[in-house]
């Protein structure tokens, strides 16, 4: 196989593709990203109390915390869609170099998202600990906890995706796909040379020329001139 997939042009079974661990992980983290940025957008902007009608970020009134959580969630959301499509068409990529680039891109992106989610979890958890729950903020407390919890779960899944991409990269390419039938299976076998003869020298005598008449020193009708 080449980087965890078979030869290019092979048929893709949708059921088997959806059952792959990598596909399940992408779908799971895609759902987690929706939960995080959906919870922040819908329920983490609340009124502090009746005297403050403006909407404030529930995480210690820190707008940066909400903005960062939404940004990471959206990046993960679209990243999951992109790599889901790449996984779907990965076996159709005929170039080994293109497959290698796709695996390296997956490895780098997964590691980067794991780092972003780690920062998001620490940032949101820290700001939530400093939040003073008022009557208005209490309405969005469950959404804030959900965003923090699923941020933590997202770290684990993206780390697993990065490890799987690293495993696929280490698999590399099976060069036996490019072997031809002219090479023997034994690595110590020599390269087949040009076919020779039987090795036995022929015992047949040399045949006489087709002209059996002997050559006369003075052909008839020709005389040597006298000087």
Q: Where are the domains of the chain?
A: 14-175
| Integer Cα distance of 44 and 59 in angstroms | 8
**Cβ proximity of 55 and 45 under 8 Å:** yes
Share of the chain above pLDDT 90, in %: 40
- pTM > 0.85: no
Which residue, 141, 178, 147, 6, is CA-closest to 67?
147
Asked if pLDDT for residue 25 goes beyond 50, the answer is: yes
Residue with tokens 């090795």: 199
Candidate from 117-131, 144-158, 187-201 with smallest mean pLDDT = 187-201
Winning range, highest mean pLDDT, from 10-24, 66-80, 160-174: 66-80
Q: Counting every residue, how long is the chain?
A: 227
Indicate whether 178 pLDDT > 50.
no
pLDDT at 175: 43
The CATH number of 14-175 is which of 3.30.230, 1.10.10, 1.20.120, 1.20.140? 1.20.140
Residue 185 has a pLDDT of: 43
Q: Quick check: 89 pLDDT over 90?
A: no
What mean pLDDT is reported for the chain? 77
Mean pLDDT of 172-200: 46
Looking from the CA of 69 toward its CB, the CA atoms found within 13 Å total 38
More confident residue, 76 or 172: 76
Measured between alpha carbons, how far is 164 from 174 in angstroms, rounded to an integer? 18
């Amino acid at each position: 196989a080449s980087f965890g997939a078979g030869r290019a042009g092979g048929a893709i079974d949708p059921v088997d593709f959806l059952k792959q661990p990598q596909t399940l992980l992408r779908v799971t983290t895609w759902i987690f990203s929706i939960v995080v940025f959906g919870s922040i957008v819908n329920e983490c902007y609340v009124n502090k109390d009746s005297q403050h009608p403006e909407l404030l970020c529930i995480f210690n009134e820190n707008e940066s915390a909400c903005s960062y959580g939404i940004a990471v969630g959206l990046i993960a959301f679209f990243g999951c869609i992109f790599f889901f499509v790449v996984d779907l068409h990965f076996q159709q990529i005929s170039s080994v170099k293109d497959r290698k680039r796709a695996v390296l891109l997956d490895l780098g992106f997964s590691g980067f998202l794991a780092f972003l989610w780690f920062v998001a979890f620490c940032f949101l958890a820290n700001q939530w600990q400093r939040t003073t729950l008022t009557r208005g903020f209490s309405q969005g407390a469950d959404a804030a906890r959900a965003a923090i919890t699923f941020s933590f779960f997202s770290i684990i899944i993206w780390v697993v995706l990065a490890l799987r991409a690293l495993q696929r990269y280490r698999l590399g390419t099976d060069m036996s796909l490019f072997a031809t039938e002219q090479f023997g299976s034994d690595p110590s076998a020599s390269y087949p040379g040009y076919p020779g003869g039987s090795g036995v020298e022929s015992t047949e005598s040399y045949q006489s020329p087709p002209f059996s008449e002997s050559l006369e020193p003075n052909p008839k009708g020709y005389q040597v001139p006298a000087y």
